[in-house]
Structure 1
C-alpha cells in the first residue's frame, strides 16, 4: 500500500507543473502617462508593460518582461489626425522622443536601417566569392514644435561591422536634452454619469454624450465594471472639441490589436470618435511652411457684397428703361 501511495505521489509531482503551467496567461498593459498640450496640438505618451510566463522550479510563473517589455509610445493629436512619432525604451538607454526645454517642445525622430556600403571579393578553397559588407545606418532629426515642426538638428551615423563609426551631423547638438520624458498632465475635467449621459463640464462649455456611445468600445475590456471605468474618464479641450481619455491601465492579451484599446476618444459636440492608436513606421510631424495660406472671408461680408451688387444691377436696370 505504501509503495502504491509513493508511486501515486510521484505521478502527482510530475503532473502538477503541467497543470499549473496551463494557468499562466501572459498579458500586456497600456496606460496614458502624460498629456502635453502645445499650440492647438497635444502630445500623448502611452506606457507599455508586458508580463510573460517563465518556468521556475518546474512551474510556470508570471514575471514582468524587463527591460524589453517596458517602453513608451509617443503620439501627436490635433483634433482630427493622430500621428505616431516613435517608440522609446528608457531602460535600454534609448532617448525620449519628446522633451520640453524652457516651455518649448522638441521632437526627436530616429530611423535605423541596414545598408550595403562595400563589395569585396574573397577566395575560399579556391573559389572566388563576392561579399557585400553592411552597416547600420541611424538617422536622427530634432524638430522644434510651435504648432508646426522646424528642423534644428540632424545627424546620420554609420556603424560598420568592424566596430568603427562615421557620423555626419549638422546644427547644435541637442540629443542630451532627451534623457527624460515629460511627466505632467494639464488641467483636465473628470466626467460624471448623469441620467445615462457622460457629462464633462469645462470652463466654457458642457458636453453630454450618451453612455451607450462608449459602451461598444469599453465593455469588451471591462465587462461589469464598465460604468465604474467610465466615471474615471477625463477630458480637455483640443481643436474644435474635447479629447477624452482613460487614466488607468488597460490589460490585454496577445490577440487584441492596439487600435482597439479604449484609451482615447474625441468629441466635436456632435459625434464621438474612437481614436485608434497605431504602431509602425514613424510619421513626421507637420512641417512649417508645408501649407498654403488661404484667404478667409467672413460670411457677413459676402452677404453685404451680394446685396451691394444686387442694388447696382437693379439701379442699372431702372436707368436703362428710363
Structure 2
C-alpha cells in the first residue's frame, strides 16, 4: 500500500530539521564541459556532503524525526552503501544504534565508512530478494525502526532539500534559474525528491533521470507505465541497482520528462572526464547524468542544466578505468 506521499511543506520542514547535520554543498561549473556538451552545466556537488552523499539528507530527516520512544530501539535498513553510511552517520549523531544489511559485494570503502560511523553490518547476497529476506531477520531480532533507502516518505522529503538549495543557489550566485535538472535513478529517492520540490518551486524545469543500460528497469517501467523490477542487475554504478517502489514510482510516473541511459563504458568515460577536468571525486553512479548528457547533446544543447552529483564514496583501490 502506498504511503501518503510527502508534500512541499514536508520538504520545507525536513530542511529546517536537518540543517545542523548537513552541508549546503557548492554548485560548480566547467567551461570545458560546457563547450563539449553545448549546454551550460551546473553541478550540485553532493559528493562534498556529510558522509559523502546526498542520502544523508533523507537519513537525517528520518532519524531526527523519530520520537524518543521510537529512537530508543534504533534504526535499520538495507543498502548497497550510501544510505547505509548516511543512516549510520545520522544515528550516531543522535546516539542510537543503526543496523545495516549490505550486499557482500558492496565497495569496501562504503563498508568501512558504515563501521566508522558506528553502523552494525549484516551481509547478504547481491540481489534484491536476498537483501530483503536478510533484512526481515535483522529487523525481527532488533525491533529497530525501518528507514527504507528510498521508498520512505521521510527520506524522499529529505532528498527534496537538495533541489531547493540548488534553485536558491542558482538565483543567488548566477542570477537565473534552470531549464532542466538531471539526476541518477536507481530506486528513485533523489529523483522523487527532485520532483517533489521542483513541481512546486519551479514547475517549468524539466526533470531527466539517468540510468545505466545494464540496470535500465526504471526506463522500461517508464515506457511500460508500471513498475518493472530486476532482481540483480550488474553495473559499475553500484548505487543504481535497486528497483523503483510504489512511492518513488508515483513521483517518477507523474513528473519525470524522460529517462535516458548510458553504457558501462560511457559511464566510466564520464566519471574519468569529471575527475580529470573538474578535479572532483565522484563515484560511478554519479557519472551517469553527465554520460547521458554527452550521449544526447540534442536534448540539452543551449539549455541551462542542473546536474546532481550524488556522492563521492569511491573505492580508490578499484577505480573502474584501472580494472
Question: Scaled by the length of structure 2, what TM-score is found?
Answer: 0.24
Higher relative contact order (CA 8 A, sep 6+): 2
Larger helix share, 1 or 2: 2
Larger Rg: 1
Question: Scaled by the length of structure 1, what TM-score is found?
Answer: 0.24
